[in-house]
C-alpha cells in the first residue's frame, strides 16, 4: 500500500492497539483491513492465520476465517460491525474479489482482483473503505453492495418510487399491463431489472389488482365501480420501499353509438 499510494495510517495512534475484530476508526479499519485482505488474497484462502496455516489454528483466536464471518456471527462478534473493523473490511474485499459465493448469504459478487486494486491505486487519497467504494467505477454495485452488506458494512440505499400517477379505469373492462413500475422506480446501486416487486395491501378486492413481474394488471369485478388503492413494495434484496397507487374505476353513465349505413 505504501509503495503504490504513499499512504499508511501510521499517525492514527488509536490504531496501535487494533485487533482483527475490534472497533476502531474507519481509517484504521481501512489501513489494517487492506493489509489483512492482501495476505488472504495472496494465500488464496479466506483465513487470516497467526500461525503458518492455512486455517489450522484455533478458530477465532489463532486463525480467522474472514470470508465466513457474516451478519449472523455469534454474540462474541455482534458488537464489531461496520467499516471501522478491519476483519469486516478484509472480508468485504475478499468477497468482492472471489467467485466462491456463500449461500444463503448475500455474497453474489465476483469482481476479481483488478478492479479492487485499480480503485485503490487511482484513489490516492483513499483513507477509508467508503472512499474506496465511492471511487469504484465498475458496473456491478448491485452485487457489490450485497457482498459488503454480508460483512456488516451497509452502504445500500433503498429503492425509490417517483411520481406514480393515479390510474383511471372504465368499469367492466380488464386492463393488462396497466402500469409499468419500471417507469416510476429506481435504485442507486441496482439496475432496474434487479428490483423485485410485491403487493403488500389492496384496500378493496373488487378492484381486481394483480402483479405480473413489474406490471400492474387490473380486472375489476363486473358492474362494480368506485375507488381503491394498492400498496406496492420494491426491494433491492436488502432494503425495500413502499408506494401507494390510487385507482378509480369509473361508472359508465351512457353509451353513444355512431350511425351506420347499411347497403
Q: Are 176 and 137 found together in one domain? A: no
CATH of the domain at 203: 2.60.40.10
- 128 and 239, same domain (yes or no): no
Residues 199 and 245 both lie in one domain: yes
In a domain, 259, yes or no: no
Q: Give the span between the Cα atoms of 190 and 142, in whole angstroms.
A: 4
Q: Which of 3-12, 72-81, 106-115, 200-209 has the lowest mean pLDDT?
A: 3-12
Q: What is the mean pLDDT of residues 98-120?
A: 86
Q: Give CA angle at 196 (181, 188), nearest 5°.
A: 80
Q: For the chain, how many structural domains are there in total?
A: 2
Are 143 and 166 part of one and the same domain? no
Residues 140 and 39 occupy one common structural domain: yes
Q: What percent of the chain has pLDDT over 90?
A: 67
Element (H, E) at 27: helix 26-43
State the burial class of residue 185 (Cβ atoms within 10 Å of its Cβ: 0-12, 13-18, 19+): buried
CA 75 to chain centre: 24
Q: Among 72-81, 137-146, 187-196, which stretch is predicted with the lowest mean pLDDT?
A: 72-81
Same domain, 164 and 133: no
User: Are residues 193 and 96 both part of a single domain?
Assistant: no
Domain that holds residue 191: 160-250
Q: Is the pLDDT of residue 14 over 80?
A: no
Residue 255 inside a domain? The answer is no
170 in the same domain as 122: no
Q: Is 262 within the bounds of a domain?
A: no
- To the nearest whole number, what is the mean pLDDT of the chain? 90
Range scoring the smallest mean pLDDT among 84-93, 189-198, 231-240, 252-261: 252-261
Q: Which of 20-24, 102-106, 111-115, 234-238 has the lowest mean pLDDT?
A: 102-106
Q: What span, in angstroms and rounded, lies between the C-alpha atoms of 112 and 97?
A: 4
Is 102 a member of any domain? yes
Last residue of a domain, one of 114, 131, 150: 150
Asked whether residue 26 falls in the same domain as residue 61, the answer is: yes
pLDDT at position 4 over 60: no
Lowest mean pLDDT segment, chosen from 1-5, 108-112, 200-204: 1-5
Give residue-wise pLDDT tens across range 34-59. 989 999 999 889 999 998 878 888 99
pLDDT above 90 for 5: no
Contact between residue 217 and residue 209 where contact means Cβ atoms under 8 Å apart:
yes
Task: Among 108, 130, 150, identify where a domain stops.
Answer: 150
Residue 260 domain flag: no
Amino acid at each position: 500500500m505504501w509503495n503504490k499510494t504513499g499512504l499508511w495510517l501510521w499517525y492514527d495512534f488509536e490504531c496501535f492497539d487494533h485487533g482483527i475484530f475490534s472497533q476502531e476508526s474507519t481509517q484504521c479499519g481501512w489501513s489494517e483491513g487492506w493489509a489483512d485482505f492482501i495476505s488472504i488474497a495472496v494465500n488464496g484462502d479466506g483465513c487470516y492465520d497467526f500461525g503458518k496455516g492455512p486455517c489450522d489454528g484455533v478458530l477465532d483466536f489463532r486463525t480467522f476465517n474472514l470470508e465466513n464471518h457474516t451478519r449472523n456471527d455469534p454474540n462474541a462478534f455482534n458488537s464489531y460491525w461496520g467499516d471501522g473493523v478491519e476483519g469486516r473490511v478484509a472480508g468485504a474485499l475478499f468477497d468482492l474479489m472471489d467467485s466462491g459465493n456463500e449461500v444463503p448469504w448475500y455474497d453474489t459478487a465476483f469482481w476479481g482482483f483488478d478492479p479492487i486494486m485499480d480503485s485503490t491505486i487511482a484513489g490516492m487519497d483513499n483513507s477509508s473503505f467508503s472512499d474506496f467504494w465511492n471511487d469504484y467505477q465498475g458496473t456491478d454495485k448491485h452485487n457489490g453492495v450485497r457482498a459488503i452488506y454480508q460483512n456488516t458494512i451497509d452502504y445500500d440505499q433503498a429503492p425509490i418510487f417517483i411520481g406514480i400517477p393515479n390510474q383511471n379505469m372504465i368499469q367492466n373492462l380488464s386492463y393488462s399491463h396497466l402500469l409499468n413500475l419500471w417507469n416510476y422506480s429506481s435504485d442507486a446501486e441496482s439496475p432496474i431489472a434487479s428490483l423485485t416487486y410485491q403487493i403488500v395491501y389492496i384496500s378493496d378486492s373488487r378492484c381486481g389488482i394483480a402483479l405480473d413481474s413489474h406490471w400492474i394488471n387490473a380486472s375489476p369485478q363486473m358492474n362494480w365501480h368506485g375507488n381503491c388503492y394498492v400498496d406496492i413494495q420494491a426491494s433491492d434484496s436488502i432494503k425495500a420501499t413502499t408506494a401507494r397507487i390510487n385507482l378509480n374505476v369509473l361508472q359508465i353513465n351512457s353509451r353513444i353509438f355512431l350511425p351506420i349505413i347499411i347497403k
